[in-house]
Structure 1
Amino acid sequence: MNISVVIPLLNEQDSLTELHDWIASVMQSNHFSYEIIFIDDGSTDDSWKTINQLSLKNPHVKGIRFLKNFGKSQALHAGFEKASGDVVITMDADLQDSPDEIPELYNLIVKDQYDLISGWKKKRYDSIISKNLPSKLFNWAARRTSGVKLNDFNCGLKAYRLEVVKQIDVNGEMHRYIPVLAKNAGFTKISEKVVKHQARKYGETKFGMNRFIHGFLDLITIWFISRFGKNPMHLFGALGFIMITIAFCFVLYLGLDKLFFNPKGRLITLRPEFYITLTTMVIGTQFFVAGFLGEIILRTKQGKKRYTIKENLNLN
């Protein structure tokens, strides 16, 4: 199979038929073998009913239905598990991503041997205040922190080699950082392509300003995991060592001062340096404990499903 199109969605019943017809037309005109995997992330409208209807007229349509809303990252993870195409394309279901971009994205992966191509919506039709400016700030911070030089981390339109999506673990709200996850997994041929952005045709956006707050928090998380995920003691142990060293220096100072320079002075317990020593010793010990706990958890954790699938459609 040439292409798997993975489409997470939430309450997009009005756009699904038009999106399906558009994708099918592109695939047929380019003679691609394909599958379209819709992941219904707990929709409360008739999205799943529409997906069922589409599957009856097109056997290439497959579906996954979550028991409730688990989030876009979990939806992508479920889609990636089932994808079987040589190239995997992800796109949003709101018609803001153009299926006409698929052939060129496919060629960049297959002919130019890229691991991942991320779309860049250079010209956007979103609100400047609510999306454009926060998005620019977010992308700048992501580039500086991750070292992945992309202009648009948030774009849902991306293309991957199959091996990439099978190796990365998309969880929490890490869908924004799939290129970073891919880089950390060893897939370094990552680039971007300017893609057409279209105004939303049906419904309302599911994302508010809080997604950028969550995005920055996730950015800190992925930086930490990238640097210290395999050895948390390297961070917490270093911080603990610094705290214990500071405490030892204060103990040495207080001891020498009391013995040789000021034997009849105030009691050590009445001096502020004594409480600084206690505080740094406690903090240092806590850092070491955090490091040990992190190492234990890392070595004993077991795989656990982060979502519950209610129904599958045309999938084994």
Structure 2
Amino acid sequence: MTTQRNNQSKILASVVVPTYKEVANIRPLVTRLVNKLENSPFGTINRNNIEIIFVDDNSKDGSKERAQELKDEGYPVVFIERTTERGLSSAVLRGFNDAKGDLLLCMDADLQHPPEKAPELLEALVKNKDADFVLGTRYGEGVEIDPNWPMHRVIISKVARSLSRPLTPLSDPMSGFFGLRKSTLEQGKKINPIGFKIALELYVKCGCKNSTEVPFSFGVREAGESKLSGKVIVKYIEQLVELYSYTYGQAFIPAVLITVIFFGIFVLMILYRLFQ
């Protein structure tokens, strides 16, 4: 039996999970994350000072009811249902803006981001007071890619990562497993809620300078459907162009960079067409 939450505890950390038709993953995500907190060697973040916020784009698949079941059982769950808005990045921003915690973490609902790693990312911000951004990276030392992960997805990820390299020193800016401080978010300027890779968007637009990284092994989706599509790839390229303009100024983007971006579009679309 799960003990009831202490409502008097101050929320220190908020975990935001954007969802669309992910009902099968909600319970394992919450229970695995909370179980790790209850057995965590860190101690700073615990089940009484964390909230897990699901921002759902009107799935109508039982996600709302599943979240309520968990809340009734004493789990620190918040469910935000959006009926007029759509999109991953805007969902993350909605969750961050509604969050009560000083530490903000984003993770996917598909369990490819191990829930057991979430406390470690948050503790990385707690321990490193100078860090304004924490990234869960698939390219850290000792990390192995799941052998069941499709090779074309690995290649697409690496090409997309290379295209963003001039914008950030992060080893894995394509990762959706990341965190930052609320104060860092509040420094953001012209944040685009349409872009697909919100971690890259926030790192650039919030002026992050000091980051820390936590390696994790990226698994295969356990339930639900992948959101990768040709449209997503095009949106990512559009986001890159906008971020380069923001960072370097539209008049100063070298012609060679534009060439590289369009070459990247070509490669990504060919890969997607071949392996979809």
Tell me the TM-score range normalised by the shorter chain: 0.7 to 0.9
Distance in 1 (alpha carbons) for counterparts of 2:57 and 2:145 = 26
Gaps in structure 1 of 5+ consecutive residues: 237-316
- The superposition leaves residues 165-184 of structure 1 with CA deviations (integer Å, 9 ceiling, x where unpaired) of 33336434335153453344
Partner residue, 2:160: 138
The alpha-carbon distance between structure 1 residues 181 and 36, as it changes in their structure 2 partners (threshold 3 A), is: closer
Partner residue, 1:34: 50
Q: TM-score, normalised by structure 1?
A: 0.66
- The superposition leaves residues 182-202 of structure 1 with CA deviations (integer Å, 9 ceiling, x where unpaired) of 344332112322112122111
- The superposition leaves residues 140-189 of structure 1 with CA deviations (integer Å, 9 ceiling, x where unpaired) of 01012x1x112322212112122123333643433515345334433211
Partner residue, 1:86: 102
Partner residue, 1:206: 227
Partner residue, 2:15: 5
Question: Runs of 4 or more off by more than 6 Å in structure 1?
Answer: none
- State the SS of the aligned residue for 1:94: coil
Which of 26, 43, 66 aligns to 1:50? It is 66
Q: Give 1 or 2 for the bigger CA radius of gyration.
A: 1
Q: How many percent identity over aligned positions?
A: 25
Distance in 2 (alpha carbons) for counterparts of 1:86 and 1:46 = 30
Which of 151, 173, 190 aligns to 1:128? It is 151
Question: Is the 1:77–1:171 contact (alpha carbons within 8 Å) kept by the matching residues of 2?
Answer: no
Bigger helix share: 1
1:70: Cα distance to partner? 0.8
Distance in 1 (alpha carbons) for counterparts of 2:165 and 2:201 = 10
Partner residue, 2:270: none
The alpha-carbon distance between structure 1 residues 99 and 128, as it changes in their structure 2 partners (threshold 3 A), is: same
Output aligned runs, 1:220-259, within 5 Å: 220-228=241-249, 235=251
Give me the CA root mean square deviation. Answer: 2.2
Distance in 1 (alpha carbons) for counterparts of 2:88 and 2:198 = 12
Gaps in structure 2 of 5+ consecutive residues: 1-10, 253-276
- The superposition leaves residues 195-247 of structure 1 with CA deviations (integer Å, 9 ceiling, x where unpaired) of 1212211122122243222211210012113344xxx8xx49xxxxxxxxxxx
Question: Is the 1:116–1:190 contact (alpha carbons within 8 Å) kept by the matching residues of 2?
Answer: yes
The alpha-carbon distance between structure 1 residues 204 and 221, as it changes in their structure 2 partners (threshold 3 A), is: same
